[in-house]
């Protein structure tokens, strides 16, 4: 009996070992907050993982955990990665920030990269984010040019700085074309619930907006636009397939180039702590093709995109007033990264109250 | 067609009480092996990742205890509810409100430190959960409002309230307006039991204590008798002089308090601050745990550990085999079904009946 | 609010309420037979993924509807076998069914992510759909909306006006005496559970073929739970399920309109309104305790094993 037990254990061990016996130079691991099938935030990060596999082939082994809750599970998931031989761990949601730093302090040989956060407590933690707001300025310009009613409907997930920044940037772009442009904002309190997003989009259209902007992840608002004949902008992915007659453009999260670069740095031993906030210029934010709009509008959008890319223009450049009319940025002054990071106020011209 | 027939045993089978978990494990292993083989993964490696890998390392056992703590605490409380026929399915909301109430001190008064902070937090957590559970209890006792609906709806309300707090008035003033409260100071953190080897905190001790106390109450006291009698037959309970109305409050308050304790323990011991998401659905999973443990607090401890193991094993399998978390969910479902089905053997004999060969009916 | 806005709210509400209504009606029949199936969410997501998949495969949304109904019913058989033939605990089995359903649907739907769905097009009843106000609401909707209304009437008629419905209620109220009367309790319950599964499947198909024609993981987003709550809300009466589903949908939609008009209330409080409204209304109507008691299936959740 004892003998059999021993044999079984040995067999278990041998079979379990075969899985891990790959000769890769590095192991890169990802933690996603949502399912990779969300076709939004987590889906795009996973596309980055696939791009890394494509770029390095057998040299890099990858692993991922999806739908990791931002509570106590996050710390365990990150520790498991650190212990299972990962050389670099990407934690791709803001809520993983403290867990990432805690584990990083205990595993100094493993590199950690946290998306959208600001804490880098040990030298092996880097942070990265994208300047999606740059794209939103372009959306604003397009919206104000093609809208007949002069009112856009904006579907927000949660009133966090990332989203507020996007709304402000959108309005700055719109005001550069039509100073009286208006926006109606609806918060759905979720990043991802196609039904709710669709309900919110319909409510906005019924309220008379003729452009839909979304800062939520599903393609539902785009489909509402297509059905009701209302122009719309996509988010996270190119949603053209869901709104061929409706999508003007989309802000695409493209993490591939960043991930390939950082995993490459681990491979040749040049990895260093960074705080990267990449934008259009770095290829982290990509505009889907300008479509369903007059040529001049597309040309203007293209022009703005180029100017931002070469560093000729930055959306948050004064003069900009706060909502109550007081001055925020003087003529020619640009916002600091700290101000951008924690933005929690609307700019002048937004006729809505920021939920507190 | 073959049919399955159950024959009630005159008493619970002691043999199958002991053996049924093993049968369940065997069925799970068999179905799991087929499933993993169909996915092109080594079944042996998969089962190893699930049931053995999480138990081979000390840190992982710590994590197991952390994961099991809220499940056990909540499920123990729910056992009183379910035994007394009170359908509290809103433990998730009570968990959240316990976490919020318990966090008042470290979030709003971070200057207050000292050894008294933690006990006060725990008591407030208990009170917060209990208070939230009192709402469906009151509605049921006073208006006859069905508690399944009210307790479930209050889950969403509690979650949205937490969301509002951490994005609004309670958010960290130094946190760049991100949705989280300030981190708890050292005196507000539930200490780790053996900090040298892992981060399991004293919450697990609370869970075991709660299970022992409730087990004692249920099996050795008049209150336990009252709970069972009122659960099985309110009419008989009335004859015995028990008040069904008071029982509604008792059951909801105890289970709400334990869920609230689980909430503050999770936040103070495992997370260290309030965030929009503090639970991956513990309050709902705990309902499964309660029934898996046959509504017996000691069984619940075992069931909580098994379910926690299936979560950890799922993660291990995702990493070492590269299967998706959907596969882990399916496997967890298979495990639960097997355990539930195997338990049938304790109470019933299963007979497979073949239909008698077709007879020719005599002509009228 | 202008009449156009109100009409728009009502129209949108119908779409939001239809999946809740269908799933809740199915669960109502299940519970009337004395079985509590908490797996609605899981059966619904199975319907959503199979509906989407079959519509893609055959190029016809109607095939999707058909597949969703069949697969929802088949999936519920698993629950039926465990709880009825093996007498397992219904609450735990139902919750496990939800876990399993979410997992299976996620696995099955992996290749559908990012594909635009095929929408089940609305059918306008000639003539009637041009009537003011009620025309677009009642006579220019998607086919599943019509089905939901017919289903509500059908379920009411079945439960209160047919012999089989009487049998169903007898089984749910007291399975012991129903058995003694010679009713095959388990067969009745099997059929009821499968009906519930078929309805949940249809509700899921509404999500992936009408409401938001696409497939994404977890797209039911808790609607199965709301459907469960609505059955309780309705005190097991079909017409009240209709009221509940539309009330819930209307409050959800109305709060979006309020936000769009710039009402300065935190969105979390507005989002909580449908849940609070449901509780408040239930409290108001549950003061009539006798009626509630009369309609509550007394054997709900209790396993039945025929003595032989």
Of the candidates B348, B310, B307, B347, which has an alpha carbon nearest to the alpha carbon of residue B75? B307
What pLDDT, on a 0 to 100 scale, did the predictor assign at position C308? 58
**pLDDT of residue B361 exceeding 90:** no
Q: Give the best residue of B52, B267, B271, B332 to mutate against chain A (max A CB count within 10 A).
A: B271
Backbone CA torsion sign across A36, A38, A42, A45? positive
Task: Report whether C61 contacts C78 (CB < 8 A).
Answer: no
CATH architecture of A132-252+285-341: 3-Layer(aba) Sandwich (3.40)
The pLDDT of A195-224, averaged and rounded, is 94
Q: What is the pLDDT of residues B148-179, one digit of tens each?
A: 899 999 999 999 999 999 988 999 988 888 88
- Which B residues 273-292 touch A at CB under 8 Å? 273, 275-280
Contacts of C114 in chain A (CB under 8 A): 39, 43, 237, 241
Write down the mean pLDDT value for chain C: 91
What pLDDT, on a 0 to 100 scale, did the predictor assign at position B1? 56
3-state secondary structure of B125: helix
Do A25-130 and A132-252+285-341 show the same overall fold? Answer: yes
Confidence of residue B364 (pLDDT cuts 50, 70, 90): very low
Q: Check: CATH 3.40.50.2300 for A25-130?
A: yes
- Return the biggest CA–CA distance within chain C: 67
The pLDDT of C166-184, averaged and rounded, is 93
Q: What is the pLDDT of residues A36-88, one digit of tens each?
A: 988 889 999 999 999 999 999 999 999 999 999 998 899 999 999 999 999 99
Task: Report whether C94 contacts C36 (CB < 8 A).
Answer: yes
Task: For residue A235, report the phi and psi dihedrals to the nearest 5 degrees.
Answer: -145, 135
- Provide the H-helix boundaries in A178-275: 194-206, 220-228, 256-267
3-state secondary structure of B10: coil
Nearby residues of A239 by Cβ (< 8 Å), 6 or more positions away: A219, A222, A247, A250, A288
Q: Which residue reads 């958010």 in tokens?
A: B171
- Topology adopted by domain C3-295: ABC transporter involved in vitamin B12 uptake, BtuC (1.10.3470)
Q: What does the alpha-carbon distance between residue A316 and residue B235 come to, in Å, rounded to a whole number?
A: 72
Q: Which residue reads 């079984």 in tokens?
A: A8
Q: Which residue reads 């008009």 in tokens?
A: C261
Q: Give the best residue of B150, B163, B352 to mutate against chain C (max C CB count within 10 A).
A: B150
- Provide the H-helix boundaries in chain C: 3-32, 40-58, 61-80, 90-108, 134-139, 143-161, 163-173, 175-180, 185-206, 223-233, 238-260, 267-285, 289-295
Interchain pair C103, B8: CB under 8 A: no
Phi-psi category of residue A218: left, alpha or beta, with phi > 0 → left and psi -120 to 50 → alpha: beta
A265 touches chain C (CB under 8 A): no
Edge-first strand order for the sheet with A26-31 is A60-65, A26-31, A88-91, A111-115, A125-130, A275-278
DSSP state of A183: E
What pLDDT, on a 0 to 100 scale, did the predictor assign at position C137? 77
What pLDDT, on a 0 to 100 scale, did the predictor assign at position B232? 85
Q: What is the pLDDT of residues B15-41, one digit of tens each?
A: 888 888 889 889 999 999 999 999 888
User: Residue C296 burial (CB < 10 Å; 0-12/13-18/19+)?
Assistant: middle
Token digits of residue A305 = 């995109």
**pLDDT of residue A21 exceeding 60:** no
What pLDDT, on a 0 to 100 scale, did the predictor assign at position A7? 44
Task: Report whether A318 contacts A330 (CB < 8 A).
Answer: yes
Contacts of A18 in chain B (CB under 8 A): 42, 45
**pLDDT of residue C185 exceeding 90:** yes
ipTM: 0.91
Q: What is the pLDDT of residues B282-319, one digit of tens each?
A: 999 999 999 989 899 999 999 999 999 999 999 999 98
The pLDDT of A149-178, averaged and rounded, is 94
Q: Which residue of C has its CA nearest to B284?
A: C95
Kindly list the domain boundaries of chain A, sorted by start residue.
25-130, 132-252+285-341
- Which A residues 168-197 touch B at CB under 8 Å? 189
Token digits of residue B278 = 């503090």
Tell me the CA distances in angstroms from A232 to A289, B216, C90, one per residue in order: 13, 62, 46
The pLDDT of B333-362, averaged and rounded, is 77
User: Residue B56 burial (CB < 10 Å; 0-12/13-18/19+)?
Assistant: exposed
Interchain pair B324, C106: CB under 8 A: yes
Nearby residues of C228 by Cβ (< 8 Å), 6 or more positions away: B148, B152, C24, C27, C38, C40
Kindly list the domain boundaries of chain B, sorted by start residue.
69-301
Q: Which residue of B has its CA nearest to A21?
A: B320
The 10 Å CB-count burial string (b at 16+, else e) for C159-170 is beeeeebebbbb
Helix H or strand E encompassing A110: none
Q: What is the pLDDT of residues A277-312, one digit of tens each?
A: 999 999 999 999 999 999 999 999 999 999 999 999
Token digits of residue C90 = 């219904």
Interior angle at CA B329, CA C46 and CA B275, nearest 5: 105
**pLDDT of residue A14 exceeding 50:** no
Q: What is the pLDDT of residues A101-121, one digit of tens each?
A: 999 999 999 999 999 989 999
Q: Which residue of A has its CA nearest to C115?
A: A241
Q: Which residue of A has its CA nearest to B308?
A: A73
Interchain pair A194, C268: CB under 8 A: no
**pLDDT of residue B252 exceeding 90:** yes
The pLDDT of C288-307, averaged and rounded, is 79
């Amino acid at each position: 009996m004892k003998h059999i037990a021993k044999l079984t254990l040995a067999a278990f061990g041998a079979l379990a070992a075969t899985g891990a016996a790959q000769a890769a130079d590095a192991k890169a691991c990802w933690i996603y907050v949502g399912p990779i099938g969300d076709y939004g935030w987590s889906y795009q990060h996973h596309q980055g993982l696939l791009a890394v596999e494509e770029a390095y082939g057998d040299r890099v082994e990858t692993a991922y955990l999806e739908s990791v809750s931002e509570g106590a599970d996050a710390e365990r998931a990150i520790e498991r990665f650190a212990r299972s031989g990962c050389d670099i761990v990407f934690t791709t949601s803001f809520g993983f920030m403290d867990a990432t730093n805690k584990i990083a302090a205990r595993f100094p040989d493993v590199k950690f990269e946290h998306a959208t956060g600001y804490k880098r407590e040990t030298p092996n933690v880097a942070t990265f984010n994208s300047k999606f707001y740059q794209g939103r300025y372009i959306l604003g310009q397009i919206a104000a040019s093609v809208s007949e009613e002069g009112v856009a409907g904006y579907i927000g997930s949660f009133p966090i700085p990332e989203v507020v920044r996007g709304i402000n940037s959108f309005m700055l772009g719109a005001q550069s074309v039509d100073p009286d442009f208006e926006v109606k904002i609806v918060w759905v309190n979720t990043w991802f619930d196609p039904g709710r997003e669709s309900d919110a989009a319909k409510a906005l259209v019924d309220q008379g907006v003729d452009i839909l902007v979304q800062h939520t992840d599903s393609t539902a608002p785009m489909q509402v636009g297509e059905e009701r004949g209302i122009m719309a902008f996509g988010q996270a992915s190119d949603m053209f397939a869901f709104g061929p007659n409706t999508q003007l453009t989309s802000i695409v999260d493209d993490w591939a180039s960043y991930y390939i670069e950082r995993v490459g740095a681990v491979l040749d031993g040049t990895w260093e702590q960074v705080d990267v906030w990449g934008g259009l210029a770095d290829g982290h934010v990509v505009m889907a093709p300008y479509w369903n709009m007059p040529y001049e509008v597309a040309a203007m959008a293209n022009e703005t995109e180029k100017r931002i890319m070469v560093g000729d223009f930055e959306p948050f450049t004064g003069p900009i007033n706060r909502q109550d009319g007081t001055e925020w940025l003087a003529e020619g002054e640009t916002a600091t990264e700290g101000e951008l990071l924690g933005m929690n106020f609307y700019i002048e011209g937004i006729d809505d109250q920021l939920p507190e | 067609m073959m049919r399955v027939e159950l024959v009630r045993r005159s008493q619970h089978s002691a043999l199958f009480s002991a053996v049924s978990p093993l049968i369940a494990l065997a069925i799970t292993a068999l179905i799991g092996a087929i499933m993993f083989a169909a996915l092109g993964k080594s079944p042996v490696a998969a089962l190893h990742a699930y049931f053995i890998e999480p138990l081979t390392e000390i840190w992982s056992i710590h994590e197991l205890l952390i994961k099991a703590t809220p499940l056990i605490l909540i499920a123990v409380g729910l056992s009183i509810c379910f035994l007394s026929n009170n359908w509290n399915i809103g433990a998730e909301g009570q968990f959240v409100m316990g976490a919020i109430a318990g966090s008042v001190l470290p979030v709003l008064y971070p200057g207050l430190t000292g050894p008294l902070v933690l006990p006060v937090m725990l008591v407030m957590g208990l009170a917060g959960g209990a208070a939230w559970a009192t709402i469906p209890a009151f509605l049921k006792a006073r208006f006859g409002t069905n508690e399944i609906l009210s307790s479930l709806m209050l889950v969403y309300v509690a979650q949205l309230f937490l969301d509002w707090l951490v994005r609004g008035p309670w958010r960290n003033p130094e946190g760049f307006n991100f949705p989280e409260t300030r981190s708890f100071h050292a005196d507000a953190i539930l200490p780790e039991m053996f900090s040298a080897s892992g981060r399991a905190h004293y919450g697990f001790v609370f869970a075991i204590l709660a299970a022992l106390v409730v087990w004692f109450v249920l099996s050795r006291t008049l209150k336990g008798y009252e709970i069972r009698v009122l659960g099985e037959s309110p009419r008989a309970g009335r004859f015995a002089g028990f008040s069904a109305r008071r029982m509604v409050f008792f059951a909801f308050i105890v289970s709400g308090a334990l869920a609230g304790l689980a909430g503050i323990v999770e936040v103070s011991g495992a997370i260290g601050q309030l965030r929009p998401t503090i639970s991956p659905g513990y309050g709902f999973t705990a309902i499964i745990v309660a029934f898996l443990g046959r509504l017996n607090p000691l069984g619940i401890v075992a069931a909580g550990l098994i379910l926690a193991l299936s979560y950890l094993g799922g993660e291990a399998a995702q990493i070492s085999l590269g299967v998706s978390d959907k596969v882990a969910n399916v496997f967890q479902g298979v495990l639960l079904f097997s355990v539930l089905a195997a338990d049938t053997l304790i109470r019933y004999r299963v007979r497979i009946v073949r239909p008698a060969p077709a007879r020719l009916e005599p002509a009228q | 609010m202008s009449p156009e806005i109100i009409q728009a709210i009502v129209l949108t509400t119908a779409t939001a309420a239809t999946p809740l209504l269908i799933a809740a009606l199915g669960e109502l029949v299940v519970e009337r037979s004395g079985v509590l199936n908490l797996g609605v969410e899981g059966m619904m997501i199975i319907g959503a993924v199979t509906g989407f998949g079959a519509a893609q495969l055959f190029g016809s949304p109607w095939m999707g509807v058909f597949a969703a109904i069949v697969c929802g019913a088949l999936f519920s058989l698993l629950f039926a076998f465990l709880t009825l033939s093996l007498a397992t605990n219904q609450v735990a089995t139902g919750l496990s069914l939800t876990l399993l359903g979410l997992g299976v649907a996620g696995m099955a739907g992996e290749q559908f992510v990012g594909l635009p769905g095929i929408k089940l097009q609305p059918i306008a009843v000639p003539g009637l759909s041009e009537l003011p106000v009620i025309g677009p609401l009642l006579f220019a909707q998607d086919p599943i909306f019509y089905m939901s209304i017919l289903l509500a009437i059908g379920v009411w008629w079945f439960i209160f006006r047919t012999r089989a419905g009487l049998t169903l209620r007898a089984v749910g109220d007291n399975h012991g005496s129903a058995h003694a009367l010679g009713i095959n309790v388990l067969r009745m319950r099997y059929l009821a559970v499968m009906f519930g599964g078929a309805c949940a499947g249809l509700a899921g198909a509404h999500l992936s073929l009408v409401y938001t024609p696409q497939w994404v993981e977890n797209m039911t987003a808790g609607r199965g739970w709301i459907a469960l709550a609505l059955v309780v809300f309705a005190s097991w009466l079909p017409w009240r399920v209709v009221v509940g589903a539309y009330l819930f949908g209307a409050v959800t939609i109305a709060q979006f309109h309020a936000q769009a008009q710039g009402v300065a209330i935190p969105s979390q409080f507005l989002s909580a309104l449908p849940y609070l409204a449901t509780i408040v209304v239930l409290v108001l109507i549950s003061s009539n305790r006798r009626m509630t008691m009369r309609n509550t299936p007394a054997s709900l959740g209790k396993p039945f094993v025929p003595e032989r």
